[in-house]
Amino acid sequence: MSTLNIKPEMSIEELGRVVSSYIKDHWEEVLAENVEELKKLFPEYEDATYGMYLDKLIPPIWGELEKNGFQSAEETKEDDFVIASCLHFRNSIEKAEWGTPDHEMRVFWIVIENQQKNLIGTFLFELSHSHVQFNLPAPPRLITFEGTERKEITAQVLQLKENV
């Protein structure tokens, strides 16, 4: 993991390139290693099964970010549902009109702060998934955004999806 070359002074765009590269390089491998188990769990857990997948994909890269002083600016509340150590379910949007039951889209966001507690921007994490069976119809995708206020983040997420 140390080959990721994450440095404490990196911008949100630079971090985004590293995380995007990690996701691109690992999403299929993690899926292949776990797909049979996840397919068996899907009838009982439905959408939560995708959280189980993300629990395997994201923590290694998130841990590397944390080692270099980056973290979520979001405080975890007692009743939060947190996926993969960093995705707060309440900081996500899924809309039926973004896809079909076999190709839905959920977008999570994480406001990132550096070791000086400065907000440097936001990761938008897009997950294509099926509500019919366990399936990822497209690779997970990370987009960076310099805004950090909830209102501008949700506007950015909705704008992204309008361009689909």
Residue extents of the structural domains in the chain: 2-162
Report whether pLDDT(40) > 90: yes
Q: What digits encode the pLDDT tens for the residues 56-87? A: 999 999 999 999 999 999 999 899 999 999 99
Summarize pLDDT for 116-138 with one digit per residue, the tens.
999 999 999 999 999 999 999 99
- Helix, strand, coil fractions of the chain, as percent rounded to 5: 45, 25, 35
More confident residue, 144 or 159: 144
Structure token pair of residue 65: 């970010």
Rounded Cα distance, 96 and 125, in Å: 17
Please provide the average confidence, as pLDDT, over all residues in the chain. 92
Alpha helices (H) in 46-163, listed in sequence order = 48-57, 59-67, 150-162
In whole angstroms, what is the distance from residue 88 CA to residue 139 CA?
20
Cα–Cα separations (whole angstroms), residue 4 to 40, 110, 117, 157: 33, 20, 22, 27
